Amino acid sequence: MADEYGQAPSIARVYDYLLGGKDNCAVDREIGDRFKIDLPGSVAIAHTNRGALVRAVRTLARAGIRQFVDLGSGLPTADNVHQVAQRHQPGAAVVYVDTDPTVLAHGRALLAENAFTTVVQGDVRTPDAIRHHPETERLIDFGQPVGIILSAVLHHLDDDENPAEAVRYWSDRIAPGSYVFISHFRCGHNEETEAAQAELIGAFGRGRWRTDAEILALFRGLDLQEPGIVPAVQWRPDPTEESRVPTVWERLIAAGLARKAQGVSV
């Protein structure tokens, strides 16, 4: 699918549109509107996922993590990883990674004056190129604890692209005391799940929802932290947030945080 100018829809730009951003094209809005009209709860999925990401970064920064690699980062929006991290750890280093040229252009413009933050072009399926990118090596010391962020990206990989291996690459190379945060579309065994997955595959030609057990398996070799694999809206909610039962839509994206052994739990 492409518009009259040959512009293909972008996962990052569709997500930006669902979050209320303006860095998107007509072809992205067409896909986003399909989600909004046919799957009206999909906007809530985007917002609850973003909220869990912000809380995870804040949790790690407060625990002393001073460097982050955000894989499949998407377009800049409110409360970006570097803003949250540097609010609690001034000088925290953040490497944003994405394949989308729009993300790279907007990110580099936004971060031009932030010496501790950079954006690199990279694909989660080729982690070695990310790890050894000059900008990554400039900012990240893998001999020290690091936070690896995989927010709403692994469900865009099919099984034959081995998302577990992409996670294992990082867990094998990060220092003890490091953390891995993952959010992932979650099988609900209901019509909403099936419809949402069909829309994703129809729009981008790829993607797979996974069960809680399959999401848990992505953390193999790491120590899963409380509260485990839960709907993103229930992942360490702020004390001021009203406790409630997630909607059927909010249950469709789960989040979890795991630590590499020998560090301090948070």
What structural domains and CATH numbers belong to the chain? 11-259 (3.40.50.150)
Q: Inform me whether the pLDDT recorded for 211 exceeds 60.
A: yes
Q: How many whole angstroms from its chain centre is CA 123?
A: 13
Q: Inform me whether the pLDDT recorded for 213 exceeds 90.
A: yes
Q: Looking at residue 2, what is its pLDDT? A: 46
Burial of 42 by CB count in 10 Å (0-12 exposed, 13-18 middle, 19+ buried)?
buried
CA atoms of 226 and 265, how far apart (whole Å):
9
Which range among 52-66, 119-133, 249-263 shows the weakest confidence by mean pLDDT?
Answer: 249-263
Tell me what the pLDDT averaged over the chain comes to: 86
pTM for the model: 0.85
Q: Is 28 helix (H, G, I), strand (E, B) or coil?
A: helix
Could you tell me which of 222, 228, 226, 210 has the C-alpha nearest to residue 260? Answer: 222
**One-letter amino acid identity for 257?**
L
Could you tell me which of 23, 20, 19 has the C-alpha nearest to residue 10? Answer: 23
